Amino acid sequence: MGYHNNMKFESELNQISELALASIKSRYRKTWAGFIWVIINPILMFGVQSMVFKHILKIELPNYFLFLLGGLLPWIFFTSTIQMGTPIFSQQGQLLRSFKVNPWVLLGAQVMDNFVNFLASFLLILIPFFLMSEKSLGMLLLLPLALIPLLIGTLSLTIILSILNIFYRDVNFVMGFIFSLLFFLTPIFYPKEFIPQEYEWMIWMNPLIYLIEPFRQVIHSFNGTLFMISIFKSLIFVTLCGFTALWVWKRKRNEFYRML
Amino acid sequence: MNSTECSEEILKVKDLKVHFYLDHYYDRGLRDVFISALTNPFDYFFKQKEIFYALNGITFSLSQGMRLGILGVNGSGKTTLCRCLAGMMRAQEGSVETTKEVRAIFDTGTGIMPELTGRENAQLLARLFFTGEKEVKHLVEESISFSELGHFIDAPFKKYSKGMQSRLLLSLISSLPADILILDEVFDGADVFFRQKLAKRMISFIEKAGATVFVSHSTEQIREICNKVMVIHEGKVHFLGEVEDGIKAYMGLNPETLIQK
Instruction: Render pLDDT for A63-76 as a digit per residue (tens, 0 to 9).
Output: 899 999 999 999 99
For residue B137, the distance in angstroms to the closest alpha carbon of chain A comes to 14
Instruction: Render pLDDT for A69-105 as a digit per residue (tens, 0 to 9).
Output: 999 999 999 999 999 999 999 888 888 888 888 888 8
In a domain, B227, yes or no: yes
In a domain, B219, yes or no: yes
d(CA B6, CA B211): 10
Torsion of CA A203, A80, A42, A214, to 10 degrees: 40
N- to C-terminal Cα distance for chain A? 31
B9-21 vs B51-63, strand pairing mode: antiparallel
User: Which residues in chain B are contacts of A97 at CB distance < 8 A?
Assistant: 106-107
- Residue partners of B87: CB distance under 8 A and separation at least 6: A100, B96, B102
Instruction: Render pLDDT for B46-84 as a digit per residue (tens, 0 to 9).
Output: 777 788 899 999 999 999 889 999 999 888 899 999 999
Are B113 and A23 a contacting pair at CB < 8 A?
Answer: yes
Nearest neighbour of B127 by CB, restricted to A15, A98, A100: A15
d(CA A92, CA A166): 11
Helix axes A143-167, A171-185, angle to 10 degrees: 140
User: Which residues in chain B are contacts of A87 at CB distance < 8 A?
Assistant: none
What number of CA atoms fall less than 13 Å from residue A98's CA on the CB side? 20
Distances (CA, A) of B252 to A8, A225, B48, B57: 45, 76, 36, 22
Are A100 and B104 a contacting pair at CB < 8 A?
Answer: yes
d(CA A128, CA B125): 42
Substitution target from B16, B24, B26 for chain A, most A beta carbons within 10 A: B24
Chain A residue with the nearest C-alpha to that of B115: A26
The pLDDT value recorded for residue B195 is 72
Q: Which residue has the higher pLDDT, B213 or A41?
A: B213
Residue type present at position A41: N
- Hey, how many other C-beta atoms are within 10 angstroms of the C-beta on A84? 15
Are A254 and B104 a contacting pair at CB < 8 A?
Answer: no
Output the domain CATH number for residue B61.
3.40.50.300
d(CA A148, CA A154): 10
What proportions of chain A, in percent to the nearest 5, are helix, strand and coil?
A: 85, 0, 15
- Residue partners of B252: CB distance under 8 A and separation at least 6: none
User: Which residues in chain A are contacts of B132 at CB distance < 8 A?
Assistant: 7, 11
Closest CA to B179 of B252, B99, B242, B122: B99
Substitution target from B27, B34, B36, B88 for chain A, most A beta carbons within 10 A: B88
Torsion of CA B143, B145, B148, B149, to 10 degrees: 80
Nearest neighbour of A174 by CB, restricted to B30, B102, B113: B30
What number of CA atoms fall less than 13 Å from residue B159's CA on the CB side? 12
Q: Report the phi/psi class of residue B148: left, alpha or beta, with left for phi > 0 and alpha for psi in -120 to 50.
A: left
The answer to whether the CB of B67 falls within 8 A of the CB of B211 is yes
Instruction: Render pLDDT for A114-171 as a digit per residue (tens, 0 to 9).
Output: 898 889 888 888 888 888 887 777 888 899 999 999 999 999 999 999 999 998 889 9
Instruction: Render pLDDT for A204-229 as a digit per residue (tens, 0 to 9).
Output: 788 889 999 998 888 888 888 999 99
Are B124 and A19 a contacting pair at CB < 8 A?
Answer: yes
> Considering its fold, how many domains does chain B have in total?
1
The pLDDT value recorded for residue A233 is 93
Indicate if the pLDDT at residue B109 is higher than 90: no
Indicate if the pLDDT at residue A37 is higher than 90: no
Nearest neighbour of B30 by CB, restricted to A26, A100, A171: A171
User: Which residues in chain B are contacts of A8 at CB distance < 8 A?
Assistant: 131
ipTM above 0.90, yes or no: no
- Residue partners of B248: CB distance under 8 A and separation at least 6: none
d(CA B62, CA B7): 9
Residue type present at position A58: K
Least confident of A237-251, B97-111, B130-144, B166-180: B130-144
The answer to whether the CB of B74 falls within 8 A of the CB of A237 is no
Beta bridge partners of B255: none
B81 lies in which domain range?
9-100+210-258
Indicate if the pLDDT at residue B259 is higher than 60: no
In a domain, B113, yes or no: no
The per-residue pLDDT of chain A, averaged, comes to: 87
Residue type present at position B181: L
Indicate if the pLDDT at residue A6 is higher than 70: no
Indicate if the pLDDT at residue B128 is higher than 80: no
A56 lies in which domain range?
2-259
d(CA A167, CA A161): 10
DSSP string, A203-224: HHH-THHHHHHHHHHHHTS--H
Instruction: Render pLDDT for B2-38 as a digit per residue (tens, 0 to 9).
Output: 444 446 888 999 999 999 887 655 657 888 888 888 8
Nearest neighbour of B103 by CB, restricted to A19, A26, A100: A100
Side by side, the strands of the sheet bearing B9-21 are B51-63, B9-21, B93-98
The pLDDT value recorded for residue B106 is 84
B228-233 vs B67-71, strand pairing mode: parallel
**Secondary structure class of B97 (helix, strand, coil):** strand
The per-residue pLDDT of chain B, averaged, comes to: 81
The pLDDT value recorded for residue B236 is 92
What pTM does this model have?
0.85
The pLDDT value recorded for residue A153 is 95
Are A255 and B105 a contacting pair at CB < 8 A?
Answer: no
Are A18 and B124 a contacting pair at CB < 8 A?
Answer: yes
For residue B248, the distance in angstroms to the closest alpha carbon of chain A comes to 30
N- to C-terminal Cα distance for chain B? 23
In a domain, B66, yes or no: yes
- Residue partners of A54: CB distance under 8 A and separation at least 6: A64, A65, A68
> Considering its fold, how many domains does chain A have in total?
1
Least confident of B87-101, B161-175, B212-226, B233-247: B161-175
Chain B residue with the nearest C-alpha to that of A95: B110
The answer to whether the CB of B104 falls within 8 A of the CB of B182 is yes
Nearest neighbour of B116 by CB, restricted to A26, A94, A98: A26
Nearest neighbour of B28 by CB, restricted to A95, A168, A174: A168
Are B31 and A174 a contacting pair at CB < 8 A?
Answer: yes
User: Which residues in chain B are contacts of A258 at CB distance < 8 A?
Assistant: 20, 54, 80
The pLDDT value recorded for residue A2 is 42
In a domain, B197, yes or no: no
In a domain, B79, yes or no: yes
In a domain, B203, yes or no: no
Substitution target from A11, A113, A257 for chain B, most B beta carbons within 10 A: A257
